[in-house]
Chains A and B, each alone.
Chain A
C-alpha cells in the first residue's frame, strides 16, 4: 500500500514539474498599433501585455487592458477610450488559440526562419472573431521570444469610426506584439 501511495505521489509531482516546464509566461510584453493616413499618424503602446504559451500543447494566449495603451497626446487617448474602444464597457482585448505547428518548431529548436501559425479567437471591443496570426517563436537564453504582426480592421470588431474622422484613421490598423516569455516555475 505504501509503495502505491509513493508511486502516485511521484507521478503527480513529475506531472506538475513537466506542466510548469512546458509553460512560458510574461506580464511585461509589448503591444503597439500604428495607423497611417496622409492626414495623421496615430500610434499607441502598451507595455503590459500578458501572454502564455504551452509548448507541449501549442496553447497560446495574450491579453491586454485597453486603458493601458498610452498615447503621446492626452486628448487622442481619451477619444480612443471613450469614442472608439468604449473601454469602460469593453476593458480587455485578448487572443486565445493554438500554435498548430508547435511540435515541429520545438523539434527544430525554434528556428529563426520558421513561422508559427496561431489559430484561434481574437476578442476586441466585445466582438469575438476567428483569426489566424503568423508569429515567430525564438529560443532565448531567458525563455521564448514571441513576435507577431497582424492587421485589425475596426469594422470587423464593430468599432464605429465617425465620418468626420474617417480619413484620419487607416482602414487596417497594424498591430505589433513582442514578448519574452519566461519558463513558469
Chain B
C-alpha cells in the first residue's frame, strides 16, 4: 500500500505535466457572438471585454476574410466584414477545405485577447481565438 501511494505521489504530477489540451470541439461555448460584435466590444472597452472573454470558449460567426492552408488543409481563418478589425482563429486540428462552404463560418475557440493600439503602425484590431474548432450548423 505504501509503495503504491509513493508511486502515485511521483507519477501523478508527472502525468499532469505531460497532459495535452482538452478538445475545444467537445466543450460548450460560454458566449455566442458575431465577429463584428466581439471586435466592437474590445474596441469600445478593451479592459472590460478582456475580463469577460479572455480564457473563455467563444463561438463566433461571421464572413470569411481569409483562410490559411497547410498541405491542403485549413489551419486558421480570419473572420471580418471589414479589412482591419477582425477575429483571427487558429484551428486546434486542421480542417478539410470541403467542410467549409459559403461566405460565412462559425468557429469556437479559446479567446487569448485583443491586439490593437492606436499609437502603433499596426492597423486595426484583432481578437484572437486559439485551439478553435469548426462548428457545423
Residues on A close to B: CB < 8 A? Answer: 23, 25, 27-28, 47-48, 50-52, 54, 59, 61, 63-68, 70, 72-77, 88, 91-92, 94, 96, 184
Contacts and interface: CB of A to CB of B under 8 A. Distances in A.
Contacts of B55: 67
B10 interface: no
A81 to B, nearest CB: 9
Is chain A's interface secondary structure helix, strand, loop, or mixed overall?
strand
A65 B120 contact: no
Contacts, number: 78
A48 B89 CA distance: 9
Interface stretch (B1-9, B13-21, B27-35, B99-107): B13-21
A50 B18 contact: no
Contacts of A61: 120-122
8 contacts: A28-B68, A28-B88, A63-B115, A65-B115, A68-B112, A70-B131, A91-B50, A184-B123
Contacts of A67: 54-55, 112-113, 128, 130
A25 B123 CA distance: 9
Contacts of B18: 73
Nearest to A23: B121
A73 B113 contact: no
Interface in B82-105: 86, 88, 90
B121 A65 contact: no
A27 B112 contact: no
Contacts of B50: 91
Given A27-B86, A27-B88, A28-B76, A76 B17 contact: yes
A75 B19 contact: yes
A23 B115 CA distance: 19
Given A75-B16, A76-B17, 10 more contacts: A28-B88, A48-B128, A50-B115, A50-B122, A50-B126, A52-B121, A65-B115, A67-B113, A75-B19, A92-B115
Contact of B90 (A25, A47, A52, A184): A47
Nearest to B89: A48
Interface core residue of A48, A73, A76 (most chain B CB under 10 Å): A48
Q: What is the interface residue range for chain B against chain A?
A: 20 to 34
The 7 closest A-B pairs by CB, nearest first: A67-B112, A68-B112, A65-B113, A52-B121, A74-B21, A91-B113, A50-B122
A52 B113 contact: no
B58 interface: no
A28 B67 CA distance: 11
A27 B113 CA distance: 14
B17 A52 contact: no
A104 to B, nearest CB: 21
Nearest to B50: A91
B96 to A, nearest CB: 19
A91 B123 CA distance: 18
A96 B122 CA distance: 10
Given A68-B112, A184-B123, A74 B19 contact: yes
B51 to A, nearest CB: 9
